[in-house]
Amino acid sequence: MAVSFDRARLAPLKDTVAIVGVGETDYAKDYRGAGGQAVGKGEARYDSYTLASRALKRALDDAGLRKDDIDGLCTGGTLSGERASEQWGLNPRWSGGGDAAQCIIEATLAINAGLCTTVALVYGNAQRSMDTAYGGARVTGGAITSYFYYAPWGMTSQGALYALFFQRHKLLYGTTEEQLGAVAVAFRKHACLNPNAVMQTPITIQDYLDARYIAEPLRLYDYCLINDGGVAIIVRRADMTRDLKQRPIMVSGFGWSEENVDATQLRPRLKSFYHGAHHDVAAQAYPMAGVTPKDVDVFATYDSFSVHLLASLEGFGFCKEGEAGAFVQGGRIEIGGDLPCNTSGGMLSESYMQSWNHQPELVRQLRGGLGHRQVQGAEVAQYVHDVAGKCKSLIYTRGA
């Protein structure tokens, strides 16, 4: 792809917008449900708006802002922007939606354009109690995507697509299943330090290897959870963040690039592990923030599957291509290691909020005071979002 982004126009956007408030629902408590029993699939107890509303209220309280301070709204998950606005009594001057990274980038652009000053980004998804399917006949909503095009051959589910991805990585580089297991073990260890994480029981590498395959070579612990929850993030023009309750966390760099050519054929997935998009995003985000991978103190990646971390580490230059299996060994990606990754437990072990729960965790790490879960001296945090080659990244730093 031609290099078409303009570094000179991106640079002045550094630190112009900050995250001033975050809110999440009680993932663990809601998962366990009444009487300590896990909520069964299809046992609807509330809807996405219930969860999103709780998260929004908590984020406003966290920021020390009132509902009437909000003049922009982004919605994610299964929320409709119109219904969400109506529910919360908002007439936004600007609205958007999508995944968390997309919403933060778009809100930053809207704020810089002068359309609004204070944007609520809100996600809600009652996917467990509503029994959402991510594989099989019920995902065939009619759109032609790689998700289900190959159903006649028995191919389905995002997990199987990432199983093909990891099998290819194994074949090319000799990466082992035991090496991949270090990712699930590390994220679970982090979850056990996070009282709001759904999964609270430590696992060993042997537990990982003993667990059943789902789509071989991926096992149970390589897959994310399916649970209910809501997340809200309040972003605000940086010069309006003084005198709020929390230290502002600056949006210092970002990038966006998608590899969709031959996506259904799985060409970018299997031929280059989406590194084309990773390199393009890295070329935008790091120079904008004025940092390099070496400066990143705490890292988070979209982790619907453990494999995502290998792809991100290689694609963003934390290690060479083919070396991520070795890189994640020996505690390097754990709290206390060189590059703590997905410190909340991520979507594998904290909560499957489809990119949304990673942002509050990075914000909390930069604010400090997380006790045993705190990454000491964290000043630069990075989130990498890569869902089937739709890649974005955000770099956050501590504000004054």
Given the complex with other proteins, which of 143 and 400 has the nearer CB atom? Answer: 143
Given the complex with other proteins, which of 7 and 271 has the nearer CB atom? Answer: 271
- Shortest distance, CB of residue 347 to other proteins, whole angstroms? 19
Given the complex with other proteins, which of 2 and 400 has the nearer CB atom? Answer: 2
Binding site for other proteins (CB under 8 A): 135-137, 140, 144, 148-157, 160, 163-165, 167-168, 171-172, 212-218, 261-262, 264-267, 270-271
Given the complex with other proteins, which of 223 and 286 has the nearer CB atom? Answer: 223
Plot region of 256 (φ>0 → left; ψ -120 to 50 → alpha; else → beta): beta
Active site residue 352: yes
Label residues 258-290 b or e (16+ Cβ within 10 Å = b): bbeeebeebebbbebbbbbbbbbbbebbbbbbe
- Shortest distance, CB of residue 159 to other proteins, whole angstroms? 9
Strands 72-77, 94-97: pairing kind: parallel
The residues with which 256 forms a beta bridge, in sequence order, are 392
d(CA 225, CA 199): 9
Catalytic residue from among 147, 208, 223, 352: 352
Question: 152: part of which helix (H) or strand (E)?
Answer: none
- Shortest distance, CB of residue 106 to other proteins, whole angstroms? 27
Given the complex with other proteins, which of 8 and 137 has the nearer CB atom? Answer: 137
281 close to 389: Cβ distance less than 8 angstroms: no
Catalytic residue from among 274, 286, 302, 396: 302
Active site residue 223: no
| DSSP string for residues in 225-248 | P---EEEEEEEEEGGG-TTSSS--
Given the complex with other proteins, which of 48 and 257 has the nearer CB atom? Answer: 257
CA angle 232, 233, 238 (to 5 degrees): 160
Q: Measuring CA to CA, how many Å separate 143 from each of 147, 148, 149, 180, 390?
A: 9, 9, 9, 32, 17
What letter would DSSP give residue 40?
P
- Shortest distance, CB of residue 170 to other proteins, whole angstroms? 9
Q: Measuring CA to CA, how many Å separate 241 from each of 190, 225, 276?
A: 31, 35, 36
- Shortest distance, CB of residue 210 to other proteins, whole angstroms? 14
- Shortest distance, CB of residue 134 to other proteins, whole angstroms? 10
Strand order in the sheet with 229-237: 94-97, 72-77, 118-125, 229-237, 17-24, 249-258, 390-398, 380-387, 298-301
Instruction: State both tokens at 232.
Output: 């809200």
- Shortest distance, CB of residue 199 to other proteins, whole angstroms? 19
Given the complex with other proteins, which of 37 and 265 has the nearer CB atom? Answer: 265
Q: What positions carry a catalytic annotation?
A: 302, 352
